Amino acid sequence: MSKKFKRSYKFALKTSTYITVFLTGLIALYEYIQLEVNLASIFVFALVCFVFSFFIIQLRIEFFIYKRVKSIYDSVSILDQSSLSNPRTTSDMKTLTEEVERFAKGKKLEIETLKVRENYRKEFIGNVSHELKTPLFTVQGYILTLLDGAIKDKKVRKKYLTRASKGVDRLIYIVKDLDMITKLETGDLDLYIETFNLVELVESVFELLEMKSAKKEISLNFDKEYAPIYVDGDKERIQQVVTNLIVNSIKYGKKGGTTEISFEEFENSKIILRVNDNGEGIEKEHIPRLFERFFRVDKTGSRREGGSGLGLSIVKHIIEAHKEQIFVDSVYGIGSEFSFTLPKSEEILEEETDASLLN
Protein backbone atom coordinates (compact mmCIF):
# COMPACT_ATOMS: atom_id res chain seq x y z
CA MET A 1 0.00 0.00 0.00
CA SER A 2 2.99 2.33 0.59
CA LYS A 3 3.87 2.04 -3.10
CA LYS A 4 0.38 3.23 -4.01
CA PHE A 5 0.78 6.26 -1.79
CA LYS A 6 4.11 7.05 -3.41
CA ARG A 7 2.48 6.84 -6.80
CA SER A 8 -0.25 9.26 -5.72
CA TYR A 9 2.40 11.70 -4.47
CA LYS A 10 4.28 11.40 -7.76
CA PHE A 11 1.09 12.09 -9.66
CA ALA A 12 0.35 15.17 -7.51
CA LEU A 13 3.95 16.35 -7.85
CA LYS A 14 3.99 16.09 -11.63
CA THR A 15 0.56 17.66 -12.04
CA SER A 16 1.45 20.51 -9.66
CA THR A 17 4.66 21.11 -11.59
CA TYR A 18 2.79 21.30 -14.91
CA ILE A 19 0.21 23.71 -13.47
CA THR A 20 2.92 25.84 -11.82
CA VAL A 21 5.00 26.02 -15.00
CA PHE A 22 1.96 26.96 -17.07
CA LEU A 23 0.65 29.66 -14.69
CA THR A 24 4.13 31.02 -13.99
CA GLY A 25 4.73 31.25 -17.71
CA LEU A 26 1.49 33.21 -18.13
CA ILE A 27 2.42 35.61 -15.33
CA ALA A 28 5.95 36.08 -16.74
CA LEU A 29 4.51 36.75 -20.22
CA TYR A 30 2.03 39.25 -18.79
CA GLU A 31 4.78 41.12 -16.91
CA TYR A 32 7.03 41.06 -19.98
CA ILE A 33 4.26 42.65 -22.05
CA GLN A 34 3.75 45.28 -19.34
CA LEU A 35 7.55 45.86 -19.27
CA GLU A 36 7.57 45.27 -15.47
CA VAL A 37 9.26 41.89 -15.00
CA ASN A 38 9.85 41.12 -11.29
CA LEU A 39 11.72 37.86 -10.80
CA ALA A 40 11.14 37.78 -7.04
CA SER A 41 7.36 38.06 -7.37
CA ILE A 42 7.37 35.44 -10.13
CA PHE A 43 9.37 33.04 -7.88
CA VAL A 44 7.03 33.60 -4.91
CA PHE A 45 4.01 33.06 -7.14
CA ALA A 46 5.50 29.86 -8.54
CA LEU A 47 6.25 28.54 -5.05
CA VAL A 48 2.79 29.34 -3.68
CA CYS A 49 1.14 27.95 -6.80
CA PHE A 50 3.12 24.70 -6.58
CA VAL A 51 2.47 24.12 -2.86
CA PHE A 52 -1.22 24.98 -3.17
CA SER A 53 -1.68 22.80 -6.27
CA PHE A 54 0.19 19.87 -4.73
CA PHE A 55 -1.92 19.76 -1.54
CA ILE A 56 -5.23 20.33 -3.33
CA ILE A 57 -4.52 17.60 -5.88
CA GLN A 58 -3.26 15.14 -3.22
CA LEU A 59 -6.31 15.80 -1.05
CA ARG A 60 -8.65 15.22 -3.96
CA ILE A 61 -6.86 12.00 -4.97
CA GLU A 62 -7.08 10.59 -1.43
CA PHE A 63 -10.67 11.72 -1.07
CA PHE A 64 -11.59 10.13 -4.41
CA ILE A 65 -9.85 6.83 -3.63
CA TYR A 66 -11.29 6.73 -0.11
CA LYS A 67 -14.85 7.41 -1.25
CA ARG A 68 -14.66 4.86 -4.08
CA VAL A 69 -13.12 2.09 -1.94
CA LYS A 70 -15.47 2.77 0.97
CA SER A 71 -18.51 2.77 -1.30
CA ILE A 72 -17.43 -0.59 -2.79
CA TYR A 73 -17.01 -2.18 0.64
CA ASP A 74 -20.22 -0.61 1.91
CA SER A 75 -22.15 -1.88 -1.10
CA VAL A 76 -21.08 -5.49 -0.56
CA SER A 77 -21.41 -5.14 3.24
CA ILE A 78 -18.09 -6.75 4.11
CA LEU A 79 -16.71 -4.02 6.34
CA ASP A 80 -18.20 -2.81 9.57
CA GLN A 81 -19.68 0.67 9.10
CA SER A 82 -18.54 1.73 12.54
CA SER A 83 -14.92 1.07 11.61
CA LEU A 84 -15.14 3.54 8.74
CA SER A 85 -16.46 6.69 10.35
CA ASN A 86 -16.26 9.98 8.51
CA PRO A 87 -13.38 11.99 10.06
CA ARG A 88 -10.94 14.12 8.08
CA THR A 89 -10.26 12.84 4.58
CA THR A 90 -6.44 13.02 4.63
CA SER A 91 -5.92 10.92 7.76
CA ASP A 92 -8.75 8.55 6.77
CA MET A 93 -6.81 7.11 3.86
CA LYS A 94 -4.28 5.48 6.16
CA THR A 95 -7.05 4.25 8.46
CA LEU A 96 -8.97 2.79 5.54
CA THR A 97 -5.86 1.02 4.28
CA GLU A 98 -5.18 -0.52 7.70
CA GLU A 99 -8.82 -1.57 8.02
CA VAL A 100 -8.84 -3.23 4.60
CA GLU A 101 -5.57 -5.08 5.29
CA ARG A 102 -6.79 -6.22 8.71
CA PHE A 103 -10.11 -7.29 7.22
CA ALA A 104 -8.39 -9.21 4.41
CA LYS A 105 -6.18 -11.11 6.87
CA GLY A 106 -9.16 -11.91 9.09
CA LYS A 107 -11.26 -13.11 6.18
CA LYS A 108 -8.42 -15.25 4.86
CA LEU A 109 -8.10 -16.96 8.24
CA GLU A 110 -11.89 -17.34 8.44
CA ILE A 111 -12.04 -18.90 4.97
CA GLU A 112 -9.26 -21.35 5.84
CA THR A 113 -11.07 -22.29 9.07
CA LEU A 114 -14.33 -22.79 7.18
CA LYS A 115 -12.58 -25.03 4.66
CA VAL A 116 -11.16 -27.17 7.48
CA ARG A 117 -14.60 -27.36 9.11
CA GLU A 118 -16.22 -28.24 5.80
CA ASN A 119 -13.77 -31.08 5.24
CA TYR A 120 -14.31 -32.26 8.82
CA ARG A 121 -18.10 -32.09 8.35
CA LYS A 122 -17.95 -34.15 5.14
CA GLU A 123 -15.68 -36.73 6.74
CA PHE A 124 -17.83 -36.85 9.88
CA ILE A 125 -21.06 -37.39 7.91
CA GLY A 126 -19.33 -40.09 5.85
CA ASN A 127 -18.12 -41.83 9.02
CA VAL A 128 -21.53 -41.66 10.71
CA SER A 129 -23.15 -43.04 7.56
CA HIS A 130 -20.65 -45.89 7.38
CA GLU A 131 -20.91 -46.75 11.08
CA LEU A 132 -24.72 -46.82 11.00
CA LYS A 133 -25.34 -48.50 7.66
CA THR A 134 -23.21 -51.58 8.45
CA PRO A 135 -25.37 -52.79 11.38
CA LEU A 136 -28.53 -51.48 9.69
CA PHE A 137 -27.96 -53.54 6.56
CA THR A 138 -27.02 -56.54 8.70
CA VAL A 139 -30.27 -56.31 10.68
CA GLN A 140 -32.28 -55.65 7.52
CA GLY A 141 -30.76 -58.66 5.76
CA TYR A 142 -31.55 -61.11 8.56
CA ILE A 143 -35.09 -59.76 9.12
CA LEU A 144 -35.95 -59.85 5.39
CA THR A 145 -34.65 -63.42 5.17
CA LEU A 146 -36.84 -64.43 8.10
CA LEU A 147 -39.88 -62.60 6.73
CA ASP A 148 -39.44 -64.39 3.42
CA GLY A 149 -40.28 -67.63 5.24
CA ALA A 150 -37.65 -69.65 3.39
CA ILE A 151 -35.95 -70.76 6.61
CA LYS A 152 -37.92 -73.45 8.45
CA ASP A 153 -35.23 -74.63 10.85
CA LYS A 154 -35.88 -73.09 14.29
CA LYS A 155 -32.18 -73.18 15.23
CA VAL A 156 -31.20 -71.22 12.10
CA ARG A 157 -34.01 -68.71 12.70
CA LYS A 158 -32.87 -68.24 16.28
CA LYS A 159 -29.29 -67.72 15.09
CA TYR A 160 -30.47 -65.08 12.59
CA LEU A 161 -32.52 -63.31 15.26
CA THR A 162 -29.52 -63.33 17.62
CA ARG A 163 -27.31 -61.76 14.97
CA ALA A 164 -29.99 -59.16 14.18
CA SER A 165 -30.22 -58.37 17.89
CA LYS A 166 -26.45 -57.83 18.03
CA GLY A 167 -26.76 -55.39 15.12
CA VAL A 168 -29.48 -53.48 16.97
CA ASP A 169 -27.30 -53.41 20.11
CA ARG A 170 -24.47 -51.91 18.11
CA LEU A 171 -26.78 -49.22 16.72
CA ILE A 172 -28.00 -48.38 20.23
CA TYR A 173 -24.36 -48.27 21.44
CA ILE A 174 -23.38 -45.77 18.72
CA VAL A 175 -26.46 -43.58 19.28
CA LYS A 176 -25.91 -43.52 23.06
CA ASP A 177 -22.27 -42.48 22.60
CA LEU A 178 -23.26 -39.73 20.16
CA ASP A 179 -25.93 -38.54 22.59
CA MET A 180 -23.39 -38.41 25.42
CA ILE A 181 -20.88 -36.40 23.36
CA THR A 182 -23.62 -33.95 22.34
CA LYS A 183 -24.63 -33.47 25.98
CA LEU A 184 -21.01 -32.99 27.05
CA GLU A 185 -20.43 -30.40 24.32
CA THR A 186 -23.61 -28.45 25.12
CA GLY A 187 -23.11 -28.73 28.88
CA ASP A 188 -26.39 -30.62 29.38
CA LEU A 189 -24.71 -33.58 31.06
CA ASP A 190 -24.41 -32.85 34.78
CA LEU A 191 -21.39 -34.20 36.62
CA TYR A 192 -21.82 -35.59 40.13
CA ILE A 193 -18.58 -34.60 41.87
CA GLU A 194 -17.57 -36.76 44.82
CA THR A 195 -14.43 -37.99 46.55
CA PHE A 196 -13.33 -41.51 45.63
CA ASN A 197 -10.31 -43.81 45.69
CA LEU A 198 -8.72 -43.74 42.22
CA VAL A 199 -6.62 -46.87 42.85
CA GLU A 200 -9.72 -48.84 43.83
CA LEU A 201 -11.54 -47.59 40.70
CA VAL A 202 -8.72 -48.82 38.43
CA GLU A 203 -8.73 -52.20 40.20
CA SER A 204 -12.46 -52.56 39.50
CA VAL A 205 -11.83 -51.76 35.81
CA PHE A 206 -9.10 -54.43 35.74
CA GLU A 207 -11.61 -56.98 37.05
CA LEU A 208 -14.20 -55.86 34.49
CA LEU A 209 -11.77 -56.27 31.57
CA GLU A 210 -10.03 -59.40 32.84
CA MET A 211 -11.62 -61.73 30.27
CA LYS A 212 -11.10 -59.29 27.38
CA SER A 213 -7.41 -58.90 28.17
CA ALA A 214 -6.98 -62.66 28.70
CA LYS A 215 -8.19 -63.33 25.15
CA LYS A 216 -5.26 -61.30 23.79
CA GLU A 217 -2.92 -62.50 26.56
CA ILE A 218 -2.35 -58.91 27.71
CA SER A 219 -1.64 -58.40 31.41
CA LEU A 220 -3.21 -55.49 33.30
CA ASN A 221 -1.22 -54.21 36.27
CA PHE A 222 0.17 -51.25 38.22
CA ASP A 223 3.81 -50.22 37.93
CA LYS A 224 4.05 -50.58 41.73
CA GLU A 225 1.90 -50.93 44.83
CA TYR A 226 -0.08 -47.80 45.73
CA ALA A 227 -1.75 -46.60 48.88
CA PRO A 228 -5.28 -45.21 48.39
CA ILE A 229 -5.29 -42.04 46.26
CA TYR A 230 -8.35 -39.86 46.79
CA VAL A 231 -9.49 -37.46 44.07
CA ASP A 232 -12.57 -35.35 43.34
CA GLY A 233 -14.63 -36.06 40.24
CA ASP A 234 -17.61 -37.86 38.75
CA LYS A 235 -16.72 -41.44 39.68
CA GLU A 236 -18.96 -43.04 37.04
CA ARG A 237 -17.60 -40.86 34.21
CA ILE A 238 -13.97 -41.28 35.30
CA GLN A 239 -14.49 -45.05 35.36
CA GLN A 240 -15.75 -44.74 31.78
CA VAL A 241 -12.60 -42.79 30.88
CA VAL A 242 -10.28 -45.39 32.43
CA THR A 243 -12.27 -48.23 30.84
CA ASN A 244 -12.13 -46.66 27.38
CA LEU A 245 -8.37 -46.04 27.63
CA ILE A 246 -7.61 -49.58 28.83
CA VAL A 247 -9.93 -51.13 26.22
CA ASN A 248 -8.13 -49.08 23.60
CA SER A 249 -4.73 -50.32 24.78
CA ILE A 250 -6.00 -53.94 24.70
CA LYS A 251 -7.51 -53.46 21.24
CA TYR A 252 -4.24 -52.20 19.73
CA GLY A 253 -1.92 -54.14 22.04
CA LYS A 254 0.39 -56.95 20.97
CA LYS A 255 -0.35 -60.51 21.98
CA GLY A 256 1.46 -61.23 25.24
CA GLY A 257 1.88 -57.49 25.92
CA THR A 258 1.25 -55.34 28.97
CA THR A 259 -1.01 -52.45 29.93
CA GLU A 260 0.41 -50.64 32.92
CA ILE A 261 -1.21 -47.98 35.12
CA SER A 262 0.81 -45.49 37.14
CA PHE A 263 0.06 -42.40 39.24
CA GLU A 264 2.10 -39.27 39.88
CA GLU A 265 1.63 -35.94 41.58
CA PHE A 266 1.03 -33.15 39.08
CA GLU A 267 1.40 -29.49 40.06
CA ASN A 268 1.01 -30.40 43.78
CA SER A 269 -2.79 -30.18 43.84
CA LYS A 270 -3.44 -32.76 41.10
CA ILE A 271 -2.87 -36.43 40.32
CA ILE A 272 -1.97 -37.63 36.84
CA LEU A 273 -3.03 -41.14 35.81
CA ARG A 274 -0.97 -42.78 33.06
CA VAL A 275 -2.04 -45.72 30.87
CA ASN A 276 1.05 -47.24 29.20
CA ASP A 277 1.16 -50.11 26.73
CA ASN A 278 3.75 -51.78 24.49
CA GLY A 279 1.38 -52.15 21.56
CA GLU A 280 1.44 -50.90 17.98
CA GLY A 281 1.99 -47.24 18.78
CA ILE A 282 0.63 -44.34 16.75
CA GLU A 283 2.30 -42.48 13.90
CA LYS A 284 2.91 -38.78 14.60
CA GLU A 285 0.64 -37.52 11.83
CA HIS A 286 -2.35 -39.32 13.40
CA ILE A 287 -1.91 -38.04 16.97
CA PRO A 288 -3.59 -34.60 16.46
CA ARG A 289 -6.76 -36.33 15.18
CA LEU A 290 -7.02 -39.12 17.77
CA PHE A 291 -9.85 -37.47 19.69
CA GLU A 292 -12.02 -36.73 16.65
CA ARG A 293 -15.33 -38.55 16.39
CA PHE A 294 -15.08 -41.82 14.43
CA PHE A 295 -11.42 -41.26 13.60
CA ARG A 296 -9.58 -44.58 13.38
CA VAL A 297 -5.87 -45.08 12.81
CA ASP A 298 -6.40 -48.64 11.56
CA LYS A 299 -9.87 -48.53 10.00
CA THR A 300 -10.14 -52.24 9.14
CA GLY A 301 -8.60 -53.64 12.32
CA SER A 302 -10.54 -51.42 14.71
CA ARG A 303 -13.84 -52.28 13.07
CA ARG A 304 -13.13 -55.96 13.49
CA GLU A 305 -12.55 -55.31 17.19
CA GLY A 306 -15.91 -53.55 17.47
CA GLY A 307 -16.72 -50.33 19.30
CA SER A 308 -18.41 -47.16 18.14
CA GLY A 309 -15.28 -45.22 17.14
CA LEU A 310 -16.25 -42.60 19.73
CA GLY A 311 -14.31 -43.87 22.75
CA LEU A 312 -11.42 -41.40 22.72
CA SER A 313 -13.72 -38.52 21.79
CA ILE A 314 -15.86 -39.31 24.85
CA VAL A 315 -12.72 -39.52 27.01
CA LYS A 316 -11.60 -36.06 25.89
CA HIS A 317 -15.02 -34.49 26.49
CA ILE A 318 -15.39 -36.02 29.97
CA ILE A 319 -11.93 -34.82 31.04
CA GLU A 320 -12.60 -31.35 29.62
CA ALA A 321 -15.97 -31.28 31.42
CA HIS A 322 -13.94 -31.75 34.63
CA LYS A 323 -11.78 -28.81 33.43
CA GLU A 324 -8.75 -31.07 33.41
CA GLN A 325 -6.13 -32.03 30.78
CA ILE A 326 -5.47 -35.14 28.72
CA PHE A 327 -2.14 -35.99 27.07
CA VAL A 328 -0.92 -38.46 24.42
CA ASP A 329 2.61 -39.68 23.84
CA SER A 330 3.30 -42.45 21.37
CA VAL A 331 6.15 -43.97 19.38
CA TYR A 332 5.12 -46.04 16.40
CA GLY A 333 6.07 -49.70 16.82
CA ILE A 334 6.97 -49.27 20.51
CA GLY A 335 3.83 -48.24 22.38
CA SER A 336 1.60 -45.43 23.62
CA GLU A 337 0.86 -43.50 26.77
CA PHE A 338 -2.45 -41.78 27.49
CA SER A 339 -2.65 -39.70 30.64
CA PHE A 340 -5.05 -37.28 32.30
CA THR A 341 -5.19 -35.17 35.42
CA LEU A 342 -7.67 -35.06 38.30
CA PRO A 343 -7.73 -32.78 41.36
CA LYS A 344 -6.70 -34.24 44.70
CA SER A 345 -9.48 -34.49 47.23
CA GLU A 346 -9.88 -31.22 49.15
CA GLU A 347 -9.83 -33.16 52.43
CA ILE A 348 -6.47 -34.70 51.54
CA LEU A 349 -5.09 -31.30 50.56
CA GLU A 350 -6.20 -29.84 53.89
CA GLU A 351 -4.51 -32.71 55.76
CA GLU A 352 -1.29 -32.18 53.78
CA THR A 353 -1.41 -28.45 54.50
CA ASP A 354 -1.94 -29.03 58.23
CA ALA A 355 0.93 -31.54 58.28
CA SER A 356 3.29 -29.10 56.58
CA LEU A 357 2.34 -26.38 59.06
CA LEU A 358 3.04 -28.67 62.00
CA ASN A 359 6.44 -29.57 60.57
pLDDT above 70 covers a percentage of the chain that reads 77
Instruction: Give the range among 10-24, 77-91, 245-259, 273-287 with minimum mean pLDDT.
Output: 77-91
Structure confidence at residue 355 as a pLDDT band (50, 70, 90): low
pLDDT at 322 exceeding the cut of 60: yes
> Given this model, what pLDDT does residue 256 score?
85
Q: Which residue has the higher pLDDT, 83 or 8?
A: 8
> Looking at the predicted structure, is the pLDDT value of residue 275 above 90?
yes
What is the arithmetic mean of pLDDT over 125-152?
Answer: 78
pLDDT, residue 84, reads: 46
pLDDT digits (tens, 9 = 90+) for 146-194: 888 777 788 888 888 888 888 888 788 778 777 877 777 777 778 889 9
- Separation of alpha carbons 118 and 111, rounded Å: 10
For 6-41, what is each residue's pLDDT tens digit?
A: 556 777 788 888 888 888 888 888 777 776 777 787
Q: What share of the chain has pLDDT > 90, as a percent?
A: 18
Contact 199, 206 (CB under 8 A): no
| Mean pLDDT computed over every residue of the chain | 78
Specify the pairing of strand 258-266 against strand 219-222.
parallel
Q: What pLDDT, on a 0 to 100 scale, did the predictor assign at position 195?
A: 92
Range list of β-strands (E), the chain: 193-197, 219-222, 230-234, 258-266, 270-277, 326-331, 335-343
pLDDT of residue 93: 55
Report the pLDDT value the prediction gives residue 95, as an integer from 0 to 100.
66
Q: At 88, is the pLDDT very low, low, confident or very high (cuts 50, 70, 90)?
A: very low
Q: What is the mean pLDDT of residues 334-341?
A: 91
pLDDT band at 220 (very low <50, low <70, confident <90, very high): very high
On the question of pLDDT at 250 being above 80, the answer is yes
| Opening angle at CA 25, ends 19 and 30, nearest 5 | 130
pLDDT over threshold 70, residue 1: no
Return the minimum-mean-pLDDT range out of 111-115, 131-135, 304-308. Answer: 304-308
Range among 103-112, 224-233, 303-312 rated most confident:
224-233
The answer to whether the beta carbons of residues 139 and 167 sit under 8 Å apart is yes
* Buried b / exposed e along 45-78 (16+ C-beta atoms within 10 A): bbeebbeebbeebbeebbeebbeebbeebeeeee
Say how many residues make up the chain.
359
pLDDT at 198 over 90: yes
Measured distance CA(247)–CA(137) in Å, rounded:
27
Q: Residue 154 corresponds to which amino acid?
A: K
pLDDT of residue 181: 76
pLDDT at position 243: 92
Q: Which range has the worst mean pLDDT, 85-94, 106-115, 197-206, 261-270?
A: 85-94
CA distances from 94 to 52, 88, 104, 331 (A): 22, 11, 15, 52
Confidence band for 112, pLDDT divided at 50, 70 and 90 = confident
Among 1-15, 84-98, 134-148, name the most confident range: 134-148
Residue range 115-140: average pLDDT? Answer: 74
Tell me, what's the pLDDT at 109? 81
Residue pair 340/352 in contact by the 8 Å Cβ criterion: no
- Interval 37-59 mean pLDDT: 80
Q: Which of 106-120, 132-146, 182-196 has the lowest mean pLDDT?
A: 106-120
Pairwise CA distance, residues 134 & 136, whole Å: 5
Contact 252, 227 (CB under 8 A): no
